[in-house]
């Protein structure tokens, strides 16, 4: 499915022309394709075949209530990292009993909130957290379901800021220490039910090899814990990468099509074909926690060009979105393709696309060949559906952008643009 493509020279999301949305609702605005989200979720299900599995969408990638509702209606579970995300899942009609709670720093209030809603599992990242969870559950007179996150010490070969499965990362507990910890917990922590095992080696993985290595390495541990502690699930985390480069030209904009080490395009079907055989005989429910794969290429950020500035060294195209709206380029050297809403056929120019923020890191691309769009024209920054709006801030007192959900030929504003009054409310 091609959710974002030119039709008669106009960039569309499904059957809606994006220029119309920019004209009606202004910019910057995020636009999401409902059918792309559904397609990705269903394709992953299919790729896993008859493996006993559950997909828990990583809410932190995109937590808009209407996006969560699409997935809740499909029966998805949710991987949350805060009490706020649990609140959103509940508001969106998701089932807390299909929620796993990740993160290294859960607070007392968050633990109580999640216990009250009987989430499926706390995915615990340290022994002190496990002990604290036991204590809080005891105070409430309940048993807390828990899994420990194992750090398999595998190099995910992704950007260092989104690599999480090496011993030097803050995440998880050393592979070698896990069995002892489960033994100790089962002896000493009466309010904990050891329900599973969790891992997550990083994000934006474009090869199946690190996934396979991690699964192969951790499998004996998972089997041992099943045998000894009767665990019922093994979460293999998220991290499935997507295409950011040439995502429009390749026609692969709507689904994962990463490159493995030999530059052979990979599909979600190949991901399934690689991991399912390794997991089939484990006899545990397999959880997956994809975020980016589900929503990354299902969203774009619309922004309007305000000015062009030709210096002696560079041409800058200054747009009305900034790093406060989409921080991936500044934070992770993230790449977003640039597509004018009205198709350009002429020559390309080399330019920087920058925002209005008073930071040199406020750019969307540097020295890139692109269509020579001009002030007054609007463009789309592609592949902005994951880690886009959720990381937006009010830096420079800029209102948070609007969000629109497209479904076929229809669209809905699923979050209004903030007003200046919204920004100062509470001060
Ligand atoms: C961020 C995160 C995910 C989702 O990662 P993606 O790369 O978006 O798939 C899944 N599990 C955990 C524990 C995470 O922290």
Measured CA to CA, the distance from residue 121 to residue 133 in angstroms comes to: 11
Q: Are residues 271 and 312 located together in one domain of the fold?
A: no
Question: What separation in Å is there between the alpha carbon of 105 and the centre of ligand 1?
Answer: 16
Question: What separation in Å is there between the alpha carbon of 385 and the centre of ligand 1?
Answer: 14
Per the structure block, which two tokens stand in for 243?
A: 């295409």
Q: Looking at 295, 319, 338, which one is the last position of a domain?
A: 295
Mean pLDDT value of segment 16-20: 98
Per the structure block, which two tokens stand in for 133?
A: 């969870």
Position 161 scores a pLDDT of 67
Position 263 scores a pLDDT of 44
Q: Are residues 98 and 127 located together in one domain of the fold?
A: yes
- Has residue 30 been placed in a domain? no
Say whether pLDDT at 1 is over 60. no
- Has residue 24 been placed in a domain? no
Position 266 scores a pLDDT of 62
Q: Are residues 281 and 384 located together in one domain of the fold?
A: no
| 77 CB near ligand 1 (under 6 Å) | no
Position 253 scores a pLDDT of 36
Question: What separation in Å is there between the alpha carbon of 81 and the centre of ligand 1?
Answer: 10
Percent of the chain with pLDDT over 70: 93
Position 307 scores a pLDDT of 98
| 290 CB near ligand 1 (under 6 Å) | yes
- Has residue 169 been placed in a domain? yes
Total domains in the fold of the chain: 2
Q: pLDDT: is 135 or 202 the higher one? A: 135
pLDDT digit string, tens, across residues 88-101: 999 999 999 999 99
Q: Are residues 229 and 304 located together in one domain of the fold?
A: no
Measured CA to CA, the distance from residue 231 to residue 148 in angstroms comes to: 11
- Has residue 369 been placed in a domain? yes
Segments forming the whole domain that contains residue 350: 4-8+297-423
- Has residue 91 been placed in a domain? yes
- Has residue 336 been placed in a domain? yes
pLDDT digit string, tens, across residues 44-74: 999 999 999 999 999 999 999 999 999 999 9
Say whether pLDDT at 190 is over 50. yes
| 291 CB near ligand 1 (under 6 Å) | yes
Q: Are residues 390 and 418 located together in one domain of the fold?
A: yes
Q: Are residues 287 and 321 located together in one domain of the fold?
A: no
Position 260 scores a pLDDT of 40
Q: Are residues 109 and 254 located together in one domain of the fold?
A: yes
Say whether pLDDT at 30 is over 90. yes
Residue 60's domain is classified under what CATH number?
3.20.20.10
Question: What separation in Å is there between the alpha carbon of 125 and the centre of ligand 1?
Answer: 14
Helices (H), 54-173: 65-73, 83-91, 108-116, 127-140
Position 252 scores a pLDDT of 42
pLDDT digit string, tens, across residues 219-250: 999 999 999 999 999 999 999 988 888 766 54
Q: Quick one: which atom of ligand 1 is closest to the CA of 162?
A: 7
Position 48 scores a pLDDT of 97
Q: Are residues 290 and 330 located together in one domain of the fold?
A: no
| 258 CB near ligand 1 (under 6 Å) | no
Percent of the chain with pLDDT over 90: 83
- Has residue 20 been placed in a domain? no
Position 58 scores a pLDDT of 98
Q: Are residues 277 and 331 located together in one domain of the fold?
A: no
Q: Are residues 258 and 371 located together in one domain of the fold?
A: no
Say whether pLDDT at 391 is over 60. yes
Secondary structure in 3-state letters for 175-241: HHHHHHHHHHHHHHCCCEEEEEEECCCECCECCCHHHHHHHHHHHHHHHHHHHHHCCCEEECCCCEC
Q: Are residues 104 and 247 located together in one domain of the fold?
A: yes
Mean pLDDT value of segment 204-232: 94
| 292 CB near ligand 1 (under 6 Å) | yes
Q: Looking at 295, 311, 339, which one is the last position of a domain?
A: 295
pLDDT digit string, tens, across residues 119-137: 999 999 999 999 999 999 9
pLDDT digit string, tens, across residues 247-297: 665 444 333 344 444 444 468 888 999 999 999 999 999 999 999 999 999
- Has residue 360 been placed in a domain? yes
Q: Give catalytic status of residue 358 as yes or no.
A: yes
CA 343 vs. chain centroid, Å, equals 29
Q: Looking at 256, 273, 295, which one is the last position of a domain?
A: 295
| 237 CB near ligand 1 (under 6 Å) | yes
| 404 CB near ligand 1 (under 6 Å) | no
Say whether pLDDT at 2 is over 90. no
Question: What separation in Å is there between the alpha carbon of 163 and the centre of ligand 1?
Answer: 10
Please, which pLDDT band fits residue 106 given cuts at 50, 70 and 90? very high
User: Mean pLDDT over all residues of the chain?
Assistant: 92
Our mutation pick for probing the ligand 1 site, out of 237, 256, 271, counting the most ligand atoms within 8 A of Cβ, is 237
Measured CA to CA, the distance from residue 20 to residue 22 in angstroms comes to: 5
Measured CA to CA, the distance from residue 229 to residue 181 in angstroms comes to: 11
Position 261 scores a pLDDT of 40
Distance (Å) of CA 223 to CA 215, 230, 314: 12, 9, 58
Q: Is 311 exposed, middle or buried (0-12, 13-18, 19+ CB in 10 A)?
A: exposed
Residue 400's domain is classified under what CATH number?
2.40.37.10
Q: Are residues 201 and 277 located together in one domain of the fold?
A: yes
């Amino acid at each position: 499915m091609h959710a974002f493509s030119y039709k008669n020279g106009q960039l569309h999301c499904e059957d809606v022309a994006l220029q119309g949305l920019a004209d009606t609702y202004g910019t910057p605005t995020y636009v999401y394709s409902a059918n792309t989200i559904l397609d990705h979720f269903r394709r992953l299900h299919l790729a896993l075949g008859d493996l006993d599995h559950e997909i828990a969408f990583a809410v932190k990638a995109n937590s808009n209530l209407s996006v969560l509702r699409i997935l809740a209606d499909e029966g998805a579970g949710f991987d949350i990292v805060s009490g706020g995300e649990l609140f959103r899942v509940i508001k969106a009609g998701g089932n807390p009993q299909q929620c796993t709670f990740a993160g290294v720093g859960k607070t007392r209030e968050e633990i109580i909130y999640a216990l009250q809603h009987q989430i499926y599992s706390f995915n615990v990242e340290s022994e002190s957290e496990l002990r604290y969870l036991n204590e809080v559950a005891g105070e409430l007179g309940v048993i807390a379901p828990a899994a420990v996150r194992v750090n398999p010490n595998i190099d995910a070969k992704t950007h260092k800021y989104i690599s999480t499965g090496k011993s030097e990362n803050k995440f998880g507990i050393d592979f070698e220490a896990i069995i002892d910890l489960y033994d100790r917990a089962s002896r000493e922590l009466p309010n904990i039910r050891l329900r599973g095992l969790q891992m997550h080696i990083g994000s934006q993985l474009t090869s199946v090899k690190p996934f396979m290595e991690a699964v192969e390495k951790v499998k004996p541990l998972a089997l041992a814990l099943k045998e000894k502690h009767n665990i019922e699930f093994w979460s293999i985390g998220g991290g499935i990468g997507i295409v950011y480069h040439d995502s429009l030209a390749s026609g692969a904009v709507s689904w994962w099509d990463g490159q493995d080490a030999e530059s052979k395009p990979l599909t979600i079907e190949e991901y399934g074909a690689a991991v399912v055989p390794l997991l089939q005989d484990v006899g545990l429910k397999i959880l997956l926690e994809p975020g980016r794969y589900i929503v990354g290429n299902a969203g774009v950020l619309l922004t309007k060009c305000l000015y062009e500035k030709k210096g002696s060294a560079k041409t800058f195209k200054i747009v009305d979105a900034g790093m406060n709206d989409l921080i991936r380029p500044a934070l992770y050297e993230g790449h977003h393709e640039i597509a004018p809403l009205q198709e350009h056929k002429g020559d390309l120019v080399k330019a920087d696309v920058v925002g209005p923020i008073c930071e040199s890191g406020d750019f969307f691309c540097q020295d890139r060949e692109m269509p020579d769009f001009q002030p007054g024209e609007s463009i789309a920054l592609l592949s902005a559906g994951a880690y886009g709006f959720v990381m937006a801030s009010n830096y420079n007192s800029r209102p948070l952008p609007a969000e629109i959900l497209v479904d076929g030929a229809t669209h809905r504003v699923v979050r209004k643009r903030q007003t200046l009054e919204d920004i100062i409310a509470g001060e």
